[in-house]
Structure formats: C-alpha cells, structure tokens
Structure 1
Amino acid sequence: MAHALAPLQRLKAMLGLGGGADGLPVRLSSRRFDGRQQAPVSELGFDQPLLWVVVALISWGLVMVYSASIALPDNPRFANYAQTHFVLRHGLAIAMGFVAALVAFQFPMRTWERMAPWLFTLALLLLILVLVPFIGKGVNGARRWFSLGIINFQPSELAKLAVLLYAADYMVRKMEVKERFFRAVMPMAIAVGVVGMLLLAEPDMGAFMVIVVIAMGILFLGGVNARMFFLIALVVIAAFALMVMMSEWRRERIFAYLDPWSEEHALGKGYQLSHSLIAFGRGEIFGVGLGGSVEKLHWLPEAHTDFLLAVLGEEFGLVGVLTITVLFFWLTRRIMHIGRQAIALDQVFSGLVAQGVGLWIGFQAFINIGVNLGALPTKGLTLPLMSYGGSAILMNLVALAVVLRVDYENRQLMRGGRA
C-alpha cells in the first residue's frame, strides 16, 4: 500500500500540496498552488476541455469538407458522385472513429502496454500486404490503401499508433541501458528503418517523416543520451536530404516550392501551392464567407484533403486560420501536460504514449499548415481531425481516446485509487 501511495506523495510534493508551510509555490495552467492551499482533485473522469476542443475541430472539419467538395461532381472524374458523397463518407468515418475511440478508452494502459509488440507486428504485416498487387489499392501511382467497401483503410495510419506504442514500451523495457547507444537505440532504429522502407515503397514519405519524429521524440523524452540523440537527428536529416536528391520528382517539388510562380512551375509542381496562396490572399482578414470560395471550384486540387486549410483561409480569412492554429497549439500543449503528469505519477509508459500522441498531432498539424501557407515544401499530409480521410480520422480519434484514458488513470491515482 505504501508503494502504491508513493507516486501520489511525490506528485503532491512537486506541486507543494503537502499541507505544510514549506511547500514551494508553483503555477499550473492559470491556477497557483503553494503549501498553504489545498488543490481539490476534479471529480470529472477525464479532461473535458480537451474533448470539446477535439469535437470542435472535427465539427468544423466536417463543415469544411462539405464546402470544399460540394463542386467536385462537376468534374468529369467525379461525375457519378453526388454533391454529398464526400461529406457523408467523412461523417461515417467520424462515427466509426467515435465508436472505436469509446472501445479504446475501455482498455487500461497496462493492456495497451501488453498489446504494443503485437500491434507493431500487425502494422508491419499490413504494410507488406498493401504492396501486393490485387490486395492493395493504387491511386495516382501510390499503393497505400485497402479497399474495405465503405472505407479505404491506410495501414500507415495504424503504423503511426503502433510505432508510438512500441517505442514507449521499448523505452520502459530499456530504461536501465538508455545511456548505451547500441543497446538502447539501435534495435529501435532498425524497427523504424524497416517500417520506413515499406512506407517508401508505397511511396509515403510524409507518413515516414511523422513516424520518425514520433519515435525520436519518445526516445528523447524517455531519457536517451542527448549527444546520441542529436547524432541520430543529424543522420536522419542527412538521410531525408539524400532521398530528396536521389528522387527527381522530389527535387522538382523542392524547386517548385522555392518559386511556385515561375513559368516552369506554375502549371506543374507549383500549381497547388500557387492556388493555395491565391486562396489565402482572397480570404484577407475575415474571409469571403462560408461557401464563397472560388479556388475550390476545380482550381485547387485535393481541396478537401491536403489543402483544406486553404479553403478555410479563403472562406474564414486570417481570423479562421489563427483560430485553427491556436486550437492545435492548445491541444498539443494539453496532451503533453497529461503525459508529464503521468510520468510524475510513475506511469512512464502512459506518459510517453500521451506525449507521443502530442508530437504526432502537433507535428502533422504544423507540417500541413506550413505546406498550405507556402512555408514548407508540398507534402501529402492531411490536417489532423479535419481533412477528408477515413483511416486518418479513425486513428486520430483512437489515439486521443488513449490520451483520455491516461488522464482518467492519472485522476484515479491522484484520488488515491488504482489505475
């Protein structure tokens, strides 16, 4: 019993809640705690503000997917589709995601820890199968999907969650040798490298970038030697630079990003970026109003997926873009706080998982926003929780449900119960 209370006592000591006058004052969010104050633990089972921000992003995304895709049936490529085709499929994916999230929330973090190696193995098998002809579905030269009738499932989205859980479990198991490079880092590097080769074969460099950031972030947060971490970071950057140099179409994307308005690029690799920038320019401060976008009328390709933010910027202006940016920043910060709280309670696996989800959501949102604004080279990454994409929405919601489970168990421990 004394051992079970130790994490709670350490957290109270950190927050200065011991009840004595010697407690150090600290600031947590907007509330100040010191040794003379008691901090009542909320009776709510999980972080409700986080849930409502997620619901707000999903709801706004559903509206924008409808707005961005409503004119697509005018295109001969989508002539057989109804105007509501994409929004209905997106709504179905959201409904499936919420059901999957409710199921995921029921599993204790101990169960997720036991399942981590098996989920990683499953993700590897699916990444192999999707490359097999007549099994994986190819679109625009990429083979990334399984056609499941009502939804196209992308195994790279499952791989993000699987690598995240596996990396957190791996760091917990290797905690005693985390200062030794070959024993602590090399096995994880090999696992991520295998996943990377399979993703590059699809090809899906964007998903590989996200997975590398998740894995490296968890290694760093787990306490891997800082010098070794920065050495790994340099190697990874050099590897990505080499991949760009060796691929002609990737080089063209970089050159188009540097000058999308040139005659050479305006109708080629720079076409999407130039029309994205036109959309933001038309939006100005307050936008042209919901439904008033011109760029979505077959000027901006993939407006309902990778470039949804450009349509949002045209219709809601700078105010809308800043609102989205602030919401994603707040969401990422809140998730990271839940992870730190779990680590303070000696729930290291739970804390690393939550922080890994924060890195995933935050990094992918940062890349998508940067690409839409022309601050980063064009890369096929969707805006989490908002862009059209069934498997992405599904796995985002499952990952966030796991974070809420971490928060739920944190609250149980702070009330003196068991996780």
Structure 2
Amino acid sequence: MANTGARLSAQLPRLVGLRPAGDGLPVRLSNRTYAGTRNTPMGELGFDQPLLWVVIGLLAWGLVMVYSASIALPDNPRFANYASTHFAVRHAIFIAIGLIAALATFQFPMKTWERMAPWLFAAALLLLVLVLLPFIGKGVNGARRWFSLGIISFQPSELAKLTVLLYAADYMVRKMEVKERFFAAVAPMAVALAVVGMLLLAEPDMGAFMVIVVIAMGILFLGGVNARMFFLIGLVVVAAFSAMVMMSEWRRERIFAYLDPWSEQYALGKGYQLSHSLIAFGRGEIFGVGLGGSVEKLHWLPEAHTDFLLAVVGEEFGLIGVLIVIGLFLWLIRRIMHIGRQAIALDQVFSGLVAQGVGLWIGFQAFINIGVNLGALPTKGLTLPLMSYGGSAILLELVGLAIVLRVDYENRMMMKGGRS
C-alpha cells in the first residue's frame, strides 16, 4: 500500500502538468490553478463509500419523516380515501425506483454522458413543451408541471435540471478556447437558458428556473468564464428575477407576506405556511418534542411532507436535529465538490464540471428549502433534496449522485493507472 501511495505521488505531477504543493492534490482548469485539496483514500470497492452512506442516511431519515408528517393526512376530507401509510409507501417506492435507476446510471462511462448531453437537453426541452399541452400535461392548482403515468406523476422540470447541467458542462468543454470572449462563450448558453426559462415560467415553475440558472452560471464560472463577465451576467439575472417578481401580483404578495407573516393581512393567507413553520421550530426548542409528537403536521402546516418537511424535523428533533441535517448537507456538498476538483486535476474537465454542477444543484436547492422553512427566505416551492416527498425529484437527484460516484470511480481508476 505504501508503494502504491509513493507511485501515485510521483505520477500526479506528470498527469496534471503542475508541481505538487505540499501534500495536496494540485488542480488546474486552463490558466486557473487551485491547490491544497486532499487526496481521497481509495477503498476496495473503488468509489466514495462515506458519500454513499450519507446519501442512504438522508434517504432513510427522509422516509421516516415523510411517514411522520403525512400520517394524519387521511383525516382531511381531501385524502379521506388514503391509508395512513399512503405517502410513506409511495415515497419508499420512489426511493427504490431511484436506487435502481442510479445503479443503472453508474454503469455508463462519463464519455457516454458527454456524447449524449446535447441530445438529452433537446429531449428535456421537448418534454417541457409537451407538458404545457392541455391534453398531455396534468394541471394541479393552476400549474401544469406533470405527466400522469398511472400511479405516479413525472415532473420534466426535474429532468431539465440534470440535462442543463450536462449540457452546460459539455458546452464549456467545447468553448474552452473562446471562454474569454463574451459573445462567443456566453451568448449561446444564455439563449438556451432563455428558452428553458420561458417554458418553465409558462408552467409556472420559477423555483426550478432559479435552480437551473444557478447551475448554469456556476458551471460557467467554474469553467473559467471571465469573472467580470460572470458578475455582469449575475447582475442581469438578479434584475430579471426582480422584474418578474414586481410584474406579478401574487409573487409580490409572497414577498410582503415573508416580510411580515404575522400581520392580519397575511397570517391566514400568503404568510400562513411560514408562520406555522416558525411555530413548529419554536415548539421543538433544543431537543424537540420527540418523533411523531408534532402538532403542526396535524393539518396546521400545509405541505408538511414536501416543501416544509424540515419544519417537522425541527419540531420533533429540535435545534439538534436541524443542525444535523444542515451538517450532513454541508459535508455532502463539500465531498462532491472535492470529487469534481479531483477530476479536473486529472484533465477530466467534463466529469469535474458535472460533479461540481451536481454539488451546486443539491446545495442550492437545500439552501433555499432550509432558508424558506426558517423564514430567512421568501416562500418558494422547492423540496429538501433526498428527504422531502416527491418522486421525480428523488429519482433525478439519485441519478445525479450516481453520476458523481461514477466520476469518483473513474478518478480512482486513473490514479491506479487504468482507464476510465
């Protein structure tokens, strides 16, 4: 084992084209150099086992919390025909389907994903168009975001997150030589995002569009787009989202309700979810009221098993439980970003950008959901990754994480002297 480590240390500078800095793994993306990332130990199974176990832990905890948060829903006339285990069983089925899809995804080398990226993006665009058609898409509460597939529904905006990620990484690899020129490097990607944005806002699904914009912009930045251009794009995006909020009365109402959810005007309207989410956290205090002891899930807090699952975690497990959830997500994102940097160090730029894109996706969506539940951000319909109820989200998140594990597997194969 010691001899293997010595050979690895000797080969890395030649593979990367840089002199090693201390004990860290040097990472280079074009003319930008990063140093100080630590080598990931290579296990016998050839992939990052701690990352896998954290994902499984979040899935298992999420399943328990979905059951706890939804157990009383059959008391509501809307769900009178459902069993108390209805949502938990469906969530378990979604997880099982997601794990099977993830296992299949892991079998495909990253070269295949790179080759298929434009086609997958085109397929996602087609689905976003089809879901808007009245005789194909399924409408719920004024939104048309789902395909009805018998016992389950599929949300194409979740697929769009993954395909935009793959397309943006492939795009940056193809545009690497012109990345310093704004129109040559950024304008085509901006047009693609504008098309996706128009389709998502027509559903409407502004939350998914926000996540997709952050993923694309993050990959552009990590891919080496000029920093001044990046911040200019950021200002344009912020201005665009601000204009969308100002031009939509119900979006403005959400902002005002977020600023004062306890006011007489909003307490029973737009601020209702937020106010009851805060009550749930308040009841939980430090150690919580115990698993199953939540009162807010008893028809006080709407969407307790989806968008506001963390509020139930806070009520039943207290501040300690919330901090554990946040800590697990921080560790998970840090690990994913490290795998991406390691791939770039091995000149696998597409693989590295894809892995880091998945980190941005999971991290930003978790940040928004946690912020919304805690009242730090305006209410937005985004689920907590890997934990909240939602078949399409769980499926695509597990597929994305399987791709990250594939990137890590190929990194280890290369460092062992094999081929990816």
Q: Same fold (TM over 0.5)?
A: yes
Partners in 2 of 1:126 and 1:396 — Cα distance? 18
State how 1:108-119 maps to structure 2 within 5 Å: 108-119=109-120
Structure 2 residue aligned with 1:354: 355
TM-score between the two structures when normalised by the length of structure 1: 0.93
- Contact 1:113/1:165 (8 A) holds in 2: yes
Q: 1:14 aligns with which of 8, 11, 20?
A: 20
State how 1:16-415 maps to structure 2 within 5 Å: 16=22, 28=37, 41-415=42-416
Q: Kindly provide the CA deviation profile for residues 221-242 of structure 1, in whole angstroms up to 9, marking residues without a partner as x.
A: 0000111100000000000000
- Contact 2:278/2:375 (8 A) holds in 1: yes
Partners in 2 of 1:191 and 1:265 — Cα distance? 38
1:149 to partner: Cα distance: 1.3
Structural RMSD (CA): 1.6
Partners in 1 of 2:104 and 2:306 — Cα distance? 27
Q: 1:159 to 1:65 in 2, by over 3 A?
A: same
1:8 to partner: Cα distance: 5.8
Structure 2 residue aligned with 1:35: none
- Contact 1:8/1:413 (8 A) holds in 2: no
Aligned partner letter, 1:14: P
Partners in 2 of 1:55 and 1:40 — Cα distance? 20
User: SS in structure 1 opposite 2:111?
Assistant: helix
Q: Kindly provide the CA deviation profile for residues 66-103 of structure 1, in whole angstroms up to 9, marking residues without a partner as x.
A: 00000000000000111111011100000000000001
1:15 to partner: Cα distance: 5.7
- Contact 2:274/2:375 (8 A) holds in 1: yes
Q: Kindly provide the CA deviation profile for residues 43-75 of structure 1, in whole angstroms up to 9, marking residues without a partner as x.
A: 431000000000000000000000000000000
Partners in 2 of 1:372 and 1:17 — Cα distance? 41
Q: 1:7 to 1:171 in 2, by over 3 A?
A: farther
Aligned partner letter, 2:100: V
Partners in 2 of 1:315 and 1:28 — Cα distance? 38
1:134 to partner: Cα distance: 1.9
Partners in 2 of 1:6 and 1:261 — Cα distance? 58
- Contact 2:13/2:19 (8 A) holds in 1: no
Partners in 1 of 2:58 and 2:236 — Cα distance? 36
Partners in 1 of 2:407 and 2:418 — Cα distance? 14
TM-score between the two structures when normalised by the length of structure 2: 0.93
Partners in 2 of 1:161 and 1:15 — Cα distance? 34
Partners in 1 of 2:314 and 2:12 — Cα distance? 50
Partners in 2 of 1:196 and 1:77 — Cα distance? 33
- Contact 2:106/2:406 (8 A) holds in 1: yes
- Contact 1:305/1:388 (8 A) holds in 2: yes
User: SS in structure 2 opposite 1:265?
Assistant: coil
User: SS in structure 1 opposite 2:144?
Assistant: strand
Partners in 2 of 1:27 and 1:243 — Cα distance? 41
Query: Structure 2: 5+ residue runs without aligned partners?
Result: 1-10, 25-34
- Contact 1:254/1:377 (8 A) holds in 2: yes
Q: 1:7 to 1:84 in 2, by over 3 A?
A: farther
- Contact 1:7/1:346 (8 A) holds in 2: no
Q: 1:200 to 1:280 in 2, by over 3 A?
A: same
- Contact 1:8/1:414 (8 A) holds in 2: no
How many pairs are equivalent? 400
Partners in 2 of 1:134 and 1:388 — Cα distance? 26
Structure 1 residue aligned with 2:30: none
